[in-house]
Chain A
Amino acid sequence: MTEIEEKQGDFEMYFGPAHPGSGNFSVRVQLRGERVMKAVVDPGYLHRGFEKLMEYREPMQNSVLSDRICVLEPLQWNLLHAEAVDTLMGYDIPERAKYIRVILAELSRIQSHFIWYAVMSMGTGFTTGFNVAMGYRDYMLDVFDYITGGRLYPAGYICPGGVRKDLPEKAEKKILTLFEKIDYMHKFAKKENPAWLERFKEVGVLTKEEAIKLGATGPILRASGVASDVRRDDPYEIYDELEFEIPVLDEGDAYSRYLIAMQEIEESKKIVKQAIDRMPKGEVKTPNMKPIVHFRKAKGETYTRNELSRGEGAIYMIATGKKTPYRVKIRGPSFTHMIPILKHLLTDSYYADVPAIYWSLNQCPADVDR
């Protein structure tokens, strides 16, 4: 990109980290009037050093730690970490545990998309949308609390070797009742909203070529017209046995990214219903497993990838026969979305569109910084 010459009257503005709609992330924008000439992203406000911490802890402890990689989709990160350890240890996961893992991961995806809708609403001044979405998300958190014992943090409920506990009594019924409850929110979010059309239509357009070049994944890539989904391309757990669609739209603007989220909620509901119907009875963790993983037996390396609600997440783990992993590399989906893509989309946009573009990328500063 060519360097823009600074003119008299140009000024710099900070969007975050103390902006109500920015999260723990900052963007420095160089403005000429209302127009953004240049954007410099400034991450690092939420760095907690998970990659290094995981080198000093045992896999079961890391499982608890993996919740915190992204606060908005903890169960999916739990699943990803558990899968990486399972591969290294060669665990044979019981069938029922696989179903429970998928049900919880998909519920977490719906919950995460609700937050997406909430923050998109808040970023554009549609406070009712924020309140409704966060309120209905709370019903989902109650179900997580019922199943895992924690509203936000499941504390490694999906652990290496299966899941920590079986589903409690009536959990399936609670999930189905929950779907009826949150149906209103989904209908509300899907309704055509004139304010949203104005703010999001044809804003932050990411073409197919740019999306591929800049490393977009997940809903951002699918909104730009590429049908890519790890659940379909490289199935894990029981995704190859389930029927679901992968929503794809060609426009690539902020509005189509929101539409993809709404369609994905529908698909996730379908997946959960199928999984509940087909779930077998039996063990939920590798037999006789105490909360200890004998990681000294593991040797080798693995690159495990999953489809998280924000895109493709991956964990690269090396085991060298010690009780802790030698190296853990976490690939968060928000990193590529927030650094090259956000910078590209903000350049030459209007300052008023910054929050709309920013939130349409469904970012999570926690997983950018890790």
Chain B
Amino acid sequence: MKLSVISEIFKNLFKRPMTVLFPMEKVEIPERERAKHKFDIDNCISCGSCAKICLNKAIKMVEVKKEYKEKYPKTYPQIDLGKCCFCALCQDICPTGCLILTEDFYLATFDKDSIIIEPLKI
């Protein structure tokens, strides 16, 4: 009977671990990572394409708060991160490139209301 796999098991005992000690050490996040959204409201033309393509209906076109309404009179995307599946179709369809997905994936929260993000806070 060959026992070669058993010697490998013992070798594995002395190998460096494959994981890193998070949060002290972090793995490198690639450029294409699809995580938290970033929105440039000044470039938005309010076309609503992002809301139309969103398959989970996580994006809703809403008006901004009264105090900013003069500067931004149209409707802008509000994102519900609880519904978002981070597919980045909104990023691909945006004609001006004002809505993009960044590498920031630290989205855990204790506050349930904070997952709905207003246009000016994205």
Taking beta carbons and an 8 Å cutoff, which residues of A are in contact with B? 57, 60-61, 64-65, 128, 132, 135, 138, 142, 145-150, 153, 155-156, 164-165, 168, 188, 191-194, 290-292
Q: Does B47 contact A (CB under 8 A)?
A: no
Known: A61-B55, A290-B92, A292-B53. A188 touches B5 (CB 8 A): yes
| B-chain residues with CB within 8 Å of residue A168 when the two chains form the complex | 30-32
Give B79-90 as 1s and 0s: 1 = Cβ < 8 Å from A's Cβ atoms.
000000111110
Q: For the complex, is B109 an interface residue (Cβ under 8 Å from A)?
A: no
With A128-B9, A291-B89, A291-B92 as contacts: A145 and B2 at CB distance below 8 Å: no
> CB-CB < 8 A to A138: which residues of B?
18
Chain B residue with minimal CB distance to A174?
Answer: B30
- Is there an interface contact between B12 and A150, defined as CB atoms closer than 8 Å? no
Are B34 and A150 in contact (CB-based, < 8 A)? yes
Nearest-neighbor residue (CB-CB) of A61 within chain B: B55
Residues of A within 8 A of B85 (CB): 64, 153, 155
What are 17 A-B contacts with C-beta separation under 8 Å? A61-B55, A64-B55, A145-B33, A147-B32, A148-B32, A150-B34, A155-B86, A155-B87, A155-B89, A168-B30, A168-B32, A192-B4, A192-B5, A194-B2, A194-B3, A290-B92, A291-B53
Which positions 26-75 of chain B face chain A at CB distance < 8 Å?
27, 30-34, 53, 55
* Chain A residues with CB under 8 A of B12: 128, 132
- Cβ contact of B87, chosen from A145, A156, A193, A194, cutoff 8 A: A156
What is the bound-complex CA distance between A132 and B8, given in angstroms?
A: 11
Known: A61-B89, A146-B32, A188-B5. 5 other contacts (CB 8 A): A149-B101, A155-B87, A191-B5, A194-B2, A291-B93
Task: Give the top 5 A-B pairs by smallest Cβ distance, nearest first.
Answer: A149-B32, A61-B55, A155-B87, A135-B18, A64-B87
**Chain B residues touching A, majority SS:** loop
Give the chain A neighbours of B107 by CB distance below 8 A: none
With both chains docked as a complex, state the minimum distance between the C-beta of A64 and any C-beta of chain B, in angstroms: 4
- Inter-chain CA distance A148–B30, complex, in Å, is 10
Cα A60 to Cα B88 in complex, Å, equals 12
Whether B31 pairs with A193 at a CB distance below 8 angstroms is no
Once bound together, how far apart are the Cα atoms of A335 and B2, in whole Å? 37
Minimum CB distance partner of B9 in chain A: A128
> Does the CB pair B8–A60 fall under 8 Å?
no
B1 at the interface (CB under 8 A from A): yes
Which residues of A are found within 8 Å of B88, using beta-carbon distances? 149, 155
Is there an interface contact between B30 and A145, defined as CB atoms closer than 8 Å? yes
Task: Give B7's nearest chain A residue, CB to CB.
Answer: A191
Which A residues are CB-close (under 8 A) to B9? 128
Distance between Cα atoms of A165 and B93 in the complex (Å): 13
| Contacting pair A57 B55 (CB below 8 A) | yes
Inter-chain contacts of A292 with B (CB < 8 A): 53, 93
Complex: chain A residue closest to B92, CB-CB = A291
